[in-house]
A and B are shown apart, each in its own frame.
Chain A
Amino acid sequence: MRHSTCLASDRFDPALELSTFLGQLSDEGGIVSFVGVARPTTRGGSPVERLFLDHHPRLTGRSLEEVAGAAGDRFDVSALRVVHRFGEVAPGEAIVFVAAASAHRRAAFEAADYVMDRLKTDAVFWKREDAVDGSHWIEPTDSDRAERARWSE
């Protein structure tokens, strides 16, 4: 399984990521991609000025590699790509991109789903939402932990 990860300091184009990923494939029959985008409002409805993703100089990149590698070990996928922003992210910009390719669709769907659930709780980032009415640090919700636990068995 080929996988590559990128810790991105600047905005990236998810469409370009997907087209590059597709260009590297050969005979896969199923390709799944996911894009996570910074929301323009908080859960309470206040406009968000920016997200700030704090990260660790070594462990963040390593955690992306670990999650991508684990997905490759677990699912029958032939290629996987993970891109994750750090630093300041404006509303509407992509935070995360995941693409998975496999001979048949199921493994690609599952691998992308698995990577996203793991990133929410295991990737080494700390996310702060700066809204017009103040800033707050986001922590994994019970629902994030439950999604992550689906893959524990």
Chain B
Amino acid sequence: MKILFFGRLGDMVGRETHVEVPPETRTVADLRQLLAQLHPAASEDLSRPSLRACVNDLIVGENYVVADSETVEFFPPLSGG
């Protein structure tokens, strides 16, 4: 599965990563846990409630079931202006 990280997480983990997703990893919440295990230095950031997941350009909730063919993007809090 393709994962993109933006902002601070992009600096910590890199913009793009590919992960092999085991069958028990079904939802966004599961995916966060998996990514936190793979990237211990970023685990605190990955577990923050303010971090949002985005699939097909739409923000999705923690229970969203991700397909292996989808790209999941993670957005820390926005800061423009």
Q: Which interface class (under 10, 10 to 19, 20 to 34, 35 or more) fits B?
A: 10 to 19
Check A54 against B6 for contact (C-beta < 8 Å): yes
A 102-153 contacts with B by CB, 8 A: 116, 119-128, 135, 137-140
| Across-interface contacts of A84 in B (CB, < 8 A) | 80-81
| Across-interface contacts of B79 in A (CB, < 8 A) | 120, 125-127, 137-140
How far, in Å, is B21 (CB) from chain A's closest CB? 23
Check B77 against A140 for contact (C-beta < 8 Å): yes
Report how far A94 CA is from B63 CA in the complex, Å: 41
Q: Interface residues of A, CB < 8 Å — how many?
A: 27
Check B57 against A126 for contact (C-beta < 8 Å): no
- The 0/1 profile, CB within 8 Å of B marked 1, for residues 40-64 of chain A is 0000000000000110101100110
Check B81 against A96 for contact (C-beta < 8 Å): yes
Closest to A141 in B: B79
Check A124 against B57 for contact (C-beta < 8 Å): no
| Across-interface contacts of B54 in A (CB, < 8 A) | 59
Check A137 against B76 for contact (C-beta < 8 Å): yes
- The 0/1 profile, CB within 8 Å of A marked 1, for residues 63-81 of chain B is 0000000000101111111
Interface residues of A (CB under 8 A from B): 36, 53-54, 56, 58-59, 62-63, 84, 95-96, 116, 119-128, 135, 137-140
